[in-house]
A = this chain, B = another copy of it.
Amino acid sequence: IYLELEKPSLGNNNADQQRACDAVRKKLKYRSTQMGLKIIKSLPKILREYDYRITATVGLRRDIAEIMNIEGGNTKDKNYMIVVDMGTTTIVAHLVDANSMRTIDAKACFNSQGIYGREVTGRMIAAERKGTAELQQLLIDDINRLIGGLAKDNKVNLKYITAIVCAGNTAMGHFLLGLPTQNIRRSPYIPTSVAPPPLRAAEVGIEINPRGLLYSLPGISGWVGSDITAGILATGINEKEEISMLVDIGTNGEIVVGNKEWLVSCSASAGPALEGANVECGMRAEKGAIERVYVENGKIKYKTIGDLPPRGICGSGIIDLVSVLLNEKLIDRSGNFIAPKDSNSDLIQYFDGIKGFIIADSQESQTRKPVFITETDIESVITAKAAIFAAMNILIGRLELDFLDINHFYIAGAFGNYIN
């Protein structure tokens, strides 16, 4: 917020801090404001150099309005935040204009913690042996790389990024802050914290404004994390009369069922196949990824992101492809290839001794290597789908409901946007 303070006089000889805080309080109607020592120290110079015209960056820390930054003059337009979805497999960061609350740009990367295991359980075991510090560092480095890229591409100075909001499963939330994870994976599954306090981002090494705040969204339990809280808020299923179901398909899939009076959730380990990982030609949903597979005049066709020559196949493409293969009777319900009797027969070949289907051959592909899906890949997809469907079934059953009782069905994330 931009403020023009009353200038000091013998009639108004308030201290610099009180002058600035009073102005913020009046403008924003907060009951209580707070500013740190560094900002207080900087006030005398800034106020006098800029003739008592300042821009204050204010964040909420519990009930207190925390003045995170004060700059001379009007720099109101330059205020950004970062929003991160810390997935087990994929990390996505959005650069958001804090004035309009619109996303300006987004970037994603695979989670570098993958070297310690594809599932969080493996990483928690590693953390118990070696401490969480290394896992934390890998995650922070990923996040900093995404922020750095977003800042550079959009010509945003890091000091104008004043907040970062992170959501993710509870284990990822622990890794972010370096919290011990050992009790999450053992009955009765006790996390260290499901609602960590707002911290300075700098305290964990995240590179934004040095006084910028890191908000960890509150989660629910050891196995239902803050990404689900975010999903509930985004879909508004907690405000609807009718019963909704929210499914977050990730490496850990979570399902929430309920309405404005009650919400019940459960979690299932799906594996990373649907994020394009653990699949031979899988990739994230980036340019050149096959995102759609369909049949036209009896031919299997595909569409890539950006209509570029294919480099691989992403989650929505994988689901389409498996569906097409099943409909075209190229695979059976167990995911095994059936010898085809038509032109598609050339497309089934062996890859390292495992049967696979070529969706784009080496001529078409950007990499000069064919893009294909193997029986092993299909098994991963089936397992993931089965895990999530089983969880839905059990949850619905426990609630003595039927799928027909679900009035709204939501699939979370970018995946939900693109799935056919």
* Smallest beta-carbon distance A163→chain B, Å: 17
A414 proximal to B (CB < 8 A)? no
Within 8 A of B (CB), among A64-91: 64
Contact B192 A43, beta carbon cutoff 8 Å: yes
Q: Mark A98-123, 1 if CB is under 8 A from B, else 0.
A: 00000000000000000000000000
Contact A16 B193, beta carbon cutoff 8 Å: yes
Query: Which single residue of chain B is at the shortest CB-CB distance from A31?
Result: B63
Contact B18 A195, beta carbon cutoff 8 Å: yes
Copies per assembly: 2
Within 8 A of B (CB), among A140-192: 177-180, 182-183, 187-192
Contact of A62 among B8, B32, B192 (CB under 8 A): B32
For A32, what are the chain B residues with a Cβ–Cβ distance below 8 Å?
Answer: 62-63
A15 proximal to B (CB < 8 A)? yes
Contact A15 B190, beta carbon cutoff 8 Å: yes
* Smallest beta-carbon distance A407→chain B, Å: 30
Within 8 A of B (CB), among A193-208: 193-197, 199, 203-204
Given the known inter-chain contacts A15-B194, A190-B15, A190-B16, please indicate yes or no for A62 contacting B40, CB distance below 8 A: no
A44 proximal to B (CB < 8 A)? yes
* Smallest beta-carbon distance A65→chain B, Å: 10
Contact A192 B64, beta carbon cutoff 8 Å: no
A387 proximal to B (CB < 8 A)? no
Contact A182 B44, beta carbon cutoff 8 Å: yes
A336 proximal to B (CB < 8 A)? no
For A62, what are the chain B residues with a Cβ–Cβ distance below 8 Å?
Answer: 32, 34, 64
- CA A41 to CA B197, docked complex, whole Å: 12
- CA A312 to CA B37, docked complex, whole Å: 42
A365 proximal to B (CB < 8 A)? no
A221 proximal to B (CB < 8 A)? yes
Q: Mark A282-326, 1 if CB is under 8 A from B, else 0.
A: 000000000000000000000000000000000000000000000
A25 proximal to B (CB < 8 A)? no
- CA A229 to CA B231, docked complex, whole Å: 51
Query: Which single residue of chain B is at the shortest CB-CB distance from A223?
Result: B13
A1 proximal to B (CB < 8 A)? no
Query: Which single residue of chain B is at the shortest CB-CB distance from A189?
Result: B13
- CA A37 to CA B177, docked complex, whole Å: 8
- CA A13 to CA B44, docked complex, whole Å: 50
Given the known inter-chain contacts A8-B190, A43-B192, A190-B8, please indicate yes or no for A37 contacting B180, CB distance below 8 A: no
Given the known inter-chain contacts A44-B192, A190-B8, please indicate yes or no for A13 contacting B222, CB distance below 8 A: yes
Query: Which single residue of chain B is at the shortest CB-CB distance from A43?
Result: B192
Given the known inter-chain contacts A195-B17, A197-B35, please indicate yes or no for A180 contacting B64, CB distance below 8 A: no
Contact of A190 among B13, B177, B188, B190 (CB under 8 A): B13
Within 8 A of B (CB), among A318-361: none
A363 proximal to B (CB < 8 A)? no
Contact A17 B190, beta carbon cutoff 8 Å: no
- CA A35 to CA B192, docked complex, whole Å: 12
A234 proximal to B (CB < 8 A)? no
- CA A9 to CA B183, docked complex, whole Å: 12
Q: Mark A35-72, 1 if CB is under 8 A from B, else 0.
A: 11100110111000000000000000011100000000
Return 28 A-B CB contacts under 8 Å, by A number. A9-B188, A13-B188, A13-B190, A13-B221, A13-B222, A15-B191, A15-B193, A15-B194, A15-B195, A16-B183, A16-B191, A16-B193, A17-B193, A17-B196, A18-B193, A18-B194, A18-B195, A32-B62, A34-B197, A37-B196, A40-B177, A40-B196, A41-B180, A44-B180, A44-B183, A44-B190, A63-B63, A64-B64
What would 7 more interface pairs be, CB under 8 Å, given A8-B190, A16-B183, A17-B192?
A15-B191, A15-B194, A17-B194, A34-B62, A37-B203, A40-B192, A44-B183
